[in-house]
Amino acid sequence: MARNFKTFPILFAITALGISSVITQITVIREFINVFEGNEIVLGVLFSLWLLLTGVGAWLGKFIISSRLQMFLLRVSLYLIAFLPVFHIVLIRFLRNELFIRGELPGIGPLIVWALVLLLPYCILSGGLLTLACSILAFSASDDRSIGRVYFFDNIGDILGGVIFTFVLVHFCNNVTALYLPAFFCLLGFLSLTPKGSGGRLFYSSLGLIGLISLFCIGWFVNLDNISLRWLYPHQKIVDHRESPYGRLVVTQSHDQISFFESGGHLFSIPNTFANEEIVHYALPQLPKVDSVLLISGGMAGVIDEILKYHVGHLDYVELDPAIISAGIRHLDVRFPPEVHLHLDDGRKFIRETDKKYNGIILDLPAPGSLQLNRFYTLEFFKEAGSVLLPGGVICFGVPGAENYISADQARFLSTLNNTLKQVFKNVLIVPGERNIFIASDSPLSSDIASLISSRNIETVYVNRNYLAGRVTPERLSFVESSIIDDVPANHDLRPTAFFYRMHIWLGMFQENYRIILIAVSLFFVLYFSRIGIIRKAIFSTGFTASSMEVLILLCYQILHGSVYTGIGFIIASFMSGLAVGSFMANKAISKGHTINKRSILEIEVAIVACIILFMMMLFWGQALLGNLAFALLTVLIGALTGYEFPIAGKILFSSPWETAGSLYAADLLGASLGALVVSLFIVPVFGIYYTCALLIVFKMFIILGLLTRKRISI
């Protein structure tokens, strides 16, 4: 009965760990994205490393069988986990310009090594804590109920952490201050685990109180965020910075130049006359009259001033992040004249819902270097944009290029954009330069831009006859046109070929050989998968499938409903809620003595396949039905099936709390790690969403076949 006293403190500690794990994962990965200008490749690598190292920690925990040592390590780990995340953020910022050349963008190889070293302590400790808690919570060496209980309360902590961060912390805290709350919960969990003896109780209570006081003093008196942020922008004065659901916005000043950075990437600098003139004056002079224009992003950089030179009667300006608008008004003294109408919305959602028609649409967006940005370069988007253009209207955007050299990857990238546009518009013109400017219309387009501008009496600084005579020459125009490959497939929402080719260009910048890394990772997972029994293979495959489906659901939500940031909170909360519901139902079935055997796992595997098929059917035939409620229900369903299978597998394979918990957590997390890596980096960009779902079904069918053919279960 002595162990019964420890039940509540341990379950509270596990819940605190779940809160800390989710908030730390989000903030640390956001910090990597901000500091290293990350995209889905960086995101996939970081998620995969996080899950991999946590799985290793859970596996290592099974080798600690001494109850005294287990309890000691549980307390120490919880205390360290309270402070490690803040240390991580500060260290990322401090070492960015110490380990890497200032101004250099590190490649994937150095980033993996650096992330591996940085994430190792927290992930190993948090993974080991799960296994230790299962061992301590068991009332005897044969108690198989602790695994399900720890899994359930860890899920409860994950739900709370996701909800707190998405709906509270992200709106009011930066990446540093957001970590003080989970640190507080971890220290409370540490204090709840103080031993009964007077000497031990005094020591651990004093240590916990010192931690709480230190946390309060750091949070109240030391502005770690401002201090550490200055390390990232040396020789520049930070005049403003703020965190928003869309990233970190930093405004710097150096002499007379003001620069805007978002999520580590450079948005624009003022003055920015050349870029503004290019994106406007190549396209709008093609029109006989310009009454109405839609501008998606770029208004704060000065594009609006160039558009208004055409005496536009109505200009709709759409910007997603309100922080950019407020910072522009404050630091650039931007004011909007009456003909400019500001809309704080997702650009694609605005086009889908507006009832206005436009002579011109200008996209002043970055290249499709992420799946979120790729949505603005797809066949589906161009069709939506064409539907709001007046007859003869033009659409214009720019992507990075080179005036005199086009690599094979760059040619395929330009080709997929060109071929996509040509499926919607009769005429496409590519103007070469530091940015390749795409102009598309159903009316004829002229490359004699200088004559068009002079005929309209438009005053420009750079884009004029003298400049264009040496820049937009027939030779350069024909060179770009000859580089277009007709058989390169179009870019689609559910098959993002432009993103895939853009990533090839991005990876080619670093001249790194990734084959060795890929071969090593592949061998590790193949050897691990081949050595475990069929039940653990099922858990591994479910971890893989669950993380893959979460990626697919988030991506589809983003495509259909705008920015994923508006829905990520309830999707994550839905998945975690499903995990909690599933594990609760499994624990209840076990406690009631229901028959648990290989058939139970088989039924869950079949249900997961059915869930994937349902998702594909709704995506193919019922996209109109995929609202917030439908996405939430699908996410809860896949989460519930995942959460139900874990305790069931623990019951079937139970040998001891530490052995069973360590091996099952390792299988689950390693499978999720591989899923996060290959789906976001390779399968979706290459094959698209439908084929990704089909591959998940094939993987699960092999597991089902294994369950049907194995007469005895290999532990």
Model confidence at 17, pLDDT cuts 50, 70, 90, reads: very high
Q: H/E element holding 422?
A: helix 408-422
Question: Is 244 part of any domain?
Answer: no
pTM: 0.83
Q: List CB contacts of 104: < 8 A, sequence separation 6 or more.
A: none
According to the per-residue pLDDT averaged within each range, which of 383-387, 516-520, 584-588, 594-598 is highest?
383-387
Q: Mark whether 97 and 207 lie in a shared domain.
A: yes
Number of domains, the chain: 3
Q: Mark whether 293 and 369 lie in a shared domain.
A: yes
Domain that includes residue 124, residue range: 1-232
**Average pLDDT of the segment spanning 478-501:** 89
**Residue position matching structure tokens 């009965």:** 1
Q: List CB contacts of 297: < 8 A, sequence separation 6 or more.
A: 318, 319, 320, 347, 363, 364, 365
Distance between CA atoms of residues 468 and 461, nearest Å: 12
Q: Mark whether 318 and 171 lie in a shared domain.
A: no
Q: Mark whether 126 and 47 lie in a shared domain.
A: yes
**Average pLDDT of the segment spanning 295-314:** 92
Q: Is the pLDDT of residue 591 over 90?
A: no
What are the start-end ranges of the H helices in 423-533?
A: 449-455, 465-471, 474-482, 497-508, 515-531
Question: Is 259 part of any domain?
Answer: no
Question: Is 499 part of any domain?
Answer: no
Choose one of 208, 232, 256: the last residue of a domain: 232
Q: Is the pLDDT of residue 3 over 50?
A: no
What b/e readout covers 250-279, taking b as 16+ CB neighbours within 10 angstroms? bbbeeeeebbbbbbbeebbebebbebbbbb
Q: Mark whether 397 and 526 lie in a shared domain.
A: no
Q: List CB contacts of 127: < 8 A, sequence separation 6 or more.
A: 53, 54, 55, 56, 57, 58, 59, 60, 61, 665, 669
Q: Are strands 314-319 and 340-344 parallel, antiparallel or unpaired?
A: parallel
Model confidence at 313, pLDDT cuts 50, 70, 90, reads: very high
Q: What CATH number did the domain enclosing 614 receive?
A: 1.20.1250.20
Question: What is the tens place of the pLDDT at every residue in 452-484?
Answer: 888 888 888 888 888 887 778 888 888 888 899
Q: Mark whether 518 and 489 lie in a shared domain.
A: no
Task: Tell me: cis bond preceding 474? Omega within 30 of 0 counts.
Answer: no
Question: Is 254 part of any domain?
Answer: no
Partners of residue 80 on adjacent β-strands: none
Mean pLDDT score across all residues of the chain = 86
**Average pLDDT of the segment spanning 311-321:** 93
Question: Is 591 part of any domain?
Answer: yes
Q: Mark whether 80 and 163 lie in a shared domain.
A: yes
Q: H/E element holding 265?
A: strand 265-270
Q: H/E element holding 392?
A: strand 389-400
Distance between CA atoms of residues 247 and 262, nearest Å: 6
Q: According to the model, what pLDDT value does residue 403 have?
A: 67
Instruction: Identify the residue with better confidence: 220 or 505.
Output: 220
Question: What is the tens place of the pLDDT at every residue in 645-695?
Answer: 988 998 888 777 778 888 888 899 899 989 988 887 788 877 888 899 999
Partners of residue 399 on adjacent β-strands: 436
Q: According to the model, what pLDDT value does residue 83 have?
A: 94
Sign of the CA dihedral running 98, 101, 104, 108: negative
Distance between CA atoms of residues 490 and 487, nearest Å: 9
Q: What CATH number did the domain enclosing 67 receive?
A: 1.20.1250
Instruction: Identify the residue with better confidence: 162 or 364.
Output: 364
Tokens of 306: 């160039």
Q: Is the pLDDT of residue 263 over 90?
A: no
Question: What is the tens place of the pLDDT at every residue in 401-437?
Answer: 766 788 888 999 999 999 999 999 999 999 988 889 9
Q: Do 671 and 541 contact (CB within 8 A), yes or no?
A: yes
Question: Is 98 part of any domain?
Answer: yes
Looking at residue 539, its amino acid is I
Q: According to the model, what pLDDT value does residue 518 have?
A: 77
Question: What is the tens place of the pLDDT at every residue in 88-112?
Answer: 899 888 887 777 766 666 667 777 7
Q: Mark whether 111 and 185 lie in a shared domain.
A: yes
Q: Kindly state the DSSP code that residue 623 receives in the 8-state scheme.
A: G
Q: Is the pLDDT of residue 612 over 70?
A: yes
Q: According to the model, what pLDDT value does residue 714 have?
A: 42
For residue 171, how many other CB atoms are within 10 A of its CB? 11
Overall size of the chain counted in residues: 715
Q: H/E element holding 359?
A: strand 358-363
Q: According to the model, what pLDDT value does residue 170 have?
A: 80
Q: Mark whether 395 and 319 lie in a shared domain.
A: yes
Looking at residue 76, its amino acid is V
Question: Is 608 part of any domain?
Answer: yes
Q: Are strands 435-441 and 340-344 parallel, antiparallel or unpaired?
A: unpaired
Question: What is the tens place of the pLDDT at every residue in 50-98?
Answer: 888 988 898 888 888 888 888 899 999 999 999 999 998 998 888 877 7
Tokens of 112: 């993996």
What are the start-end ranges of the H helices in 592-654?
A: 598-621, 628-653
According to the per-residue pLDDT averaged within each range, which of 448-452, 519-523, 597-601, 608-612 is highest?
608-612
Question: Is 451 part of any domain?
Answer: yes
Q: Mark whether 539 and 480 lie in a shared domain.
A: no
Q: According to the model, what pLDDT value does residue 441 have?
A: 96
Distance between CA atoms of residues 638 and 610, nearest Å: 10
Q: Mark whether 533 and 485 lie in a shared domain.
A: no
Instruction: Identify the residue with better confidence: 272 or 226.
Output: 226
Q: What CATH number did the domain enclosing 484 receive?
A: 3.40.50.150
Q: Over 498-513, what HEC string results?
A: HHHHHHHHHHHCCCCC
Question: What is the tens place of the pLDDT at every residue in 160-184?
Answer: 888 888 778 888 888 899 999 999 9
Model confidence at 1, pLDDT cuts 50, 70, 90, reads: very low
Q: Mark whether 569 and 658 lie in a shared domain.
A: yes
